[in-house]
Each structure stands twice: as structure tokens, then as C-alpha cells.
Amino acid sequence: MLKYGYTVFDEDMNMKELNLTATDSRSVILIEEGLLHRLPELVRNLFPLSKVLIVTDENVEKLYGKSVYESLARSGIPCVKKVLPFGERTKSFEYLNIILDCLGENGFTRSDAVMALGGGVIGDLSGFAAALWQRGMKLIQAPTTLLAQIDSSIGGKTAIDTKWGKNTIGAFKQPDLVCIDPQVLTTLSKTDFSAGMAEMIKYACIRDKEMFRILKTHSDNIFPHLSELILQACKIKKEVVEEDCFDTGLRMILNFGHTVAHVLEGLNDFEGLPHGYAVALGMIDITKRSEALGCTLSGTADQIQKLCDAYGLPTEMPAVDKRAAVSFLLRDKKARSGQMNLVLLKEIGSCFIKKMDVGDAIQFLGWEEK
Ligand code: GLY
């Protein structure tokens, strides 16, 4: 029997369940092939009295939005749907306002729910709206990209982008429920799939040597292993978030490869380079450098490079404009305080945080001007 505090489901050997206990809230994470079809049942059981606002984008609408809306409505669940444009530009004040207006116009209260059906943009934006409306309503994450399934839908980070940068305004808002359906990944583009695999490789690098081995052994056909790998990635994220919900310490290990990645994304106007591609390049680059410094077991960067290559990720670091790279690096508020935390590997499956003066970090990353 699956129990998650609210209700008990029929015995279901395929459904995997994790409970993430944060400081003041709890998230139930469910993983099952075909789980999107069970959304009406889950919503009825967990939130019997709630209305649901489904937020999705134009691409996901065509694939799943229409059917999710219809299945909820057919089950007698009062629901409204908002379809937004696809892309990072939607993570803005403008679309946040559109969602908040929609909640107001339809009489939503804090005991109702927002369902984010889509990738990271929809999840971050809808999550932020749910955190704000009447100081916080219920939130269901139904992630439809691999990256959202193993990273952005879990752990409660919500945000919008502003003229001051990516994710500059946001809130911690743990979702009440995360519904992960690995079947939806079959409709992902090659680029989106590879980009998600970069985050999967990241989890293996920082915490799980065996996961790295599985990724390596089955790189020619990873699909049969995907549900297990998603579960493993979610377990790692859950453990880290439970220890450091508000991102003041351990949680920064989830940013392995991200210091360089954020700079590369910035240099590409946050749109030219998929996040996962930048993370792959960042993990390889920083590991090469920490190997050279003697902090990482020799040969580690080569292993990461080969694995990224096997999953269609870029592995050759582009030439960067050093001055521009440093200016993006310094946007990080910790960097502005004079010190930075870099996540480095001891070896595959084990990482540590290295504190460095910003000047040393710039030199370490190869961006000092001679
Ligand atoms: N994506 C990193 C985190 O949730 O902390």
C-alpha cells in the first residue's frame, strides 16, 4: 500500500513515492509511467475541495494540456486553464500578472491549487504565482521535461527573470505534489533530452558512482533505465534539500558545473545555449582545472567528457571573452562579497566545496587578463 499521509492508494508496485520534508512543509513526489492519466484521481484524493488552475505553454498544450484539462473536467474537478507562450521570456512580471489576474477573475482562494504543466519556465513562474496568491496556495508540479523532472520541479525554488538578471525575484515554495511521468519524455526533442541528461550526469558526479556506471554502460539505450535513474536523481535532490532547504550551505553542491555554466549562458544572452549544454561544459571545464590543481583524481574530467559526449552534449569549451566572463561572474552576490564557493569533485561520486577569494577564482577559471 502506498501511504502518503493524506490517503492510501491501491497497491501499485510501479508507482515510486518520495516524501520531502522541508522546514515548514512537505512535498510528495510520485513517479510512474503514465502518471499524467492519473492526475484526476490524485487531485481528487489529495485536494478534494480545491479548484485547479492549470498553467501550461503553447507546445505542451498541444501534447498534454488539452487532455489533462479535459480529464480533470470530466472527473468533475472545477478547473481553469491558462496557456502561455513558450520560452524563457514568459518568466516575467507580465506573465506573473496574467496568472495572478486569472486567479482573481476566477475566485481562487488559498485552499485552491495551481498545477504547473510544463518545463522549468512554467514550473518556476506558476510556483511563484502560487507562493504569492493570498500568501500561498497549493501547488502541483507536473513536469514535462527531464530537466524539470529531476531538478526544477523539486525543492521549492520559484522565480521570474527581471532586467536585473535571471531568477532575481522569487520565493521558496515547496510543491504539495510533484507528478513525474517518464512517458512524456518520449516526445522531448533531442536537445531537451540531452540537456536533461546533463543534470542527471551532475547528480552521478556529486553523489553516486553507481549511477555514473549505469549511465556509462547503457548510453546506447538509456530509456529502459530512465524511471530508476529519475528516482535516484530525485532521491539525491530530496536529501540535499532536506538538509539545506533555503540554500545556505550544502545545497550549493547541486550547482556543480553551474558557475561556469551561468557565465556561458550569460555570454549567450540566456537563450542561445541550453542550460544543460552549459552545465556539461561547466562540469568538464572545472574538473579539468581542479585535476590540474591536484584536487581531483586524475582522469575524472576525461570520464565526464566521454559520458557527456555519449549523451549528445557539447564537450569543447568555446573561447570566451574574459572581461565579459568576469563581469557575469561578479553578478553573483557572493562573488561581490569577495569570496566564492566552487563545487569540485574528489572523484566521480564525491564532491566538496572549495572557498576561494574572487581573484583566485578568476585565475582558477582562466579568466584573468594578463
Ligand atoms: N537547481 C538547484 C537547486 O534547486 O538548488
Sign, CA torsion 84/88/92/96: positive
CA of 254 to the centre of ligand 1 (A): 6
Ligand 1 contact via 151 beta carbon (within 6 Å): yes
Could you tell me the pTM of the whole model?
0.94
Nearest to 149 by CA among 219, 96, 221, 226: 226
CATH 3.40.50.300 at 3-186, yes or no: no
Name the residue with the closest Cα to ligand 1, atom 3. Answer: 254
> For residue 159, what are the β-bridge partners?
170
Ligand 1 contact via 254 beta carbon (within 6 Å): yes
Tens of pLDDT along 19-63? 999 988 999 999 999 999 999 999 999 999 999 999 999 999 999
Tens of pLDDT along 171-189? 999 999 999 999 999 999 9
Query: How many C-beta atoms surround the C-beta of residue 6 within 10 A?
Result: 14
Q: Give the mean pLDDT of the chain.
A: 94
CA of 106 to the centre of ligand 1 (A): 32
59 vs 78: CA distance, rounded Å: 23
Return the SS3 of 353.
strand
Residue 149: per-residue pLDDT: 98
Tens of pLDDT along 136-165? 999 999 999 999 999 999 999 999 999 888
Residue 271: per-residue pLDDT: 76
In this structure, the strands spanning 350-357 and 339-347 are: antiparallel
| CATH class given for the domain over 189-364 | mainly alpha
Joined grid coordinates for residue 111: 485552499
Ligand 1 contact via 148 beta carbon (within 6 Å): no
Cell 497497491 appears where?
11
Ligand 1 contact via 157 beta carbon (within 6 Å): yes
For 83, residues 6+ apart whose C-beta sits below 8 A from its C-beta are 56, 57, 58, 61, 65
With 70 as the cut, is the pLDDT of residue 292 above it?
A: yes
Tens of pLDDT along 205-258? 999 999 999 999 999 999 999 999 999 999 999 999 999 999 999 999 999 999
Where along the chain do its domains lie?
Answer: 3-186, 189-364
Taking a C-beta distance cutoff of 8 angstroms, is the pair 240, 253 a contact?
yes
Return the SS3 of 305.
helix
Cα 37 off chain centre by? 23
With 80 as the cut, is the pLDDT of residue 334 above it?
A: no
Nearest to 148 by CA among 192, 106, 108: 192
With 60 as the cut, is the pLDDT of residue 168 above it?
A: yes
Q: What is the largest CA-CA distance in the chain?
A: 67
Name the residue with the closest Cα to ligand 1, atom 2. Answer: 254
> For residue 171, what are the β-bridge partners?
158
Instruction: Give percent of the chain with pLDDT exceeding 90.
Output: 88
Angle at 99 between CA 97 and CA 105, to 5 degrees: 100
169 vs 95: CA distance, rounded Å: 14
Atom of ligand 1 nearest to the CA of 240: 5
Atom of ligand 1 nearest to the CA of 247: 5
